[in-house]
Amino acid sequence: MKRSHFLFLMATGAAAAVIGLAGCGSSSGGGLTNSGSGGGAPAKASNAALSTAQSASLGTIVTDSKGMTVYLYTKDTAHPSVSNCSGQCAQTWPPVPSNSAAVQGIDKSLVGSITRADGTKQMTLAGWPLYEYASDTGPGDTKGQNVGGVWFAVTPSGGKAAGAASGGAGAGGGGGGGY
């Protein structure tokens, strides 16, 4: 009796493992895939300070070293590079810190940094200061897209990504922080 119970548990465990493996490789974990991969692989953090990912709703966008979507603020300026997001704004939209890590899928000549009013360094792309969105909780989230009509995911050329938000915060949408 013990042997048959053991065999039943082994078979059940094997079936569960097969079912679990069937879900591997899908991009349902937020809708982003690494642009450098063969597609279908979930976006994941890289050692690069900035890299690219494919969003089902936004196309190719920029992500940071943690795989988080990177945004620009249209109330900033690109030439000269100036951040106009501080205080509570910078709490909701944390600046992407500048570092010397490599970039992947992005023209290195477009990447730079600025010194913010508080003395910290912030990465720029095509002159635009870069930010994360505090309401994006994991790689693949794009909840900051078009918030307040002034926040947009960034393309590899430093432009605004076109398309709807995949995280539910549309134009003027929830999550606040239109600033």
pLDDT value for 46: 58
pLDDT value for 11: 40
pLDDT value for 169: 38
pLDDT value for 52: 96
* Residues 31-79: tens digit of each pLDDT: 555 444 333 333 445 568 899 999 999 999 999 999 999 999 999 999 9
pLDDT value for 101: 80
Kindly report the pTM of this predicted structure.
0.70
What are the angstrom distances between the C-alpha of 115 and each of 18, 25, 95? 51, 40, 11
Asked whether the predicted pLDDT for residue 26 surpasses 70, the reply is no
**Chain centre distance of CA 71:** 8
Q: Stretch 162-173: mean pLDDT, rounded?
A: 50
Q: Strand 151-153 to strand 77-78: parallel, antiparallel, or no bridges (unpaired)?
A: unpaired
Asked whether the predicted pLDDT for residue 179 surpasses 50, the reply is yes
Contact predicate 169/147, CB 8 Å? yes
* Residues 149-163: tens digit of each pLDDT: 999 999 999 999 997
In the chain, at which residue ranges do the beta strands (DSSP E only) sit?
32-34, 50-55, 59-64, 71-73, 77-78, 81-82, 111-115, 121-125, 128-129, 151-153
Residue 36 has φ and ψ, to the nearest 5°, of -80, -10
Measured CA angle at 140 (ends 136, 145), to 5 deg: 60
* Residues 1-22: tens digit of each pLDDT: 454 443 333 343 433 333 333 3
Q: Residue 88 contacts by C-beta under 8 Å, 6 or more apart in sequence?
A: 179
* Residues 113-161: tens digit of each pLDDT: 999 999 999 999 999 999 999 999 999 999 999 999 999 999 999 999 9
Q: What share of residues in the chain are helix, strand, coil (percent, to 5)?
A: 20, 25, 55
Write the DSSP symbol of residue 95.
Answer: B
State the number of CA atoms in the 13 A half-sphere of 24 facing the CB.
6
* Residues 82-107: tens digit of each pLDDT: 999 999 999 999 999 998 788 999 99
Asked whether the predicted pLDDT for residue 165 surpasses 90, the reply is no
CA–CA separation, 160 vs 89, rounded Å?
19
CA–CA separation, 69 vs 142, rounded Å?
6
Q: Which residues pair with 128 in a beta bridge?
A: 125
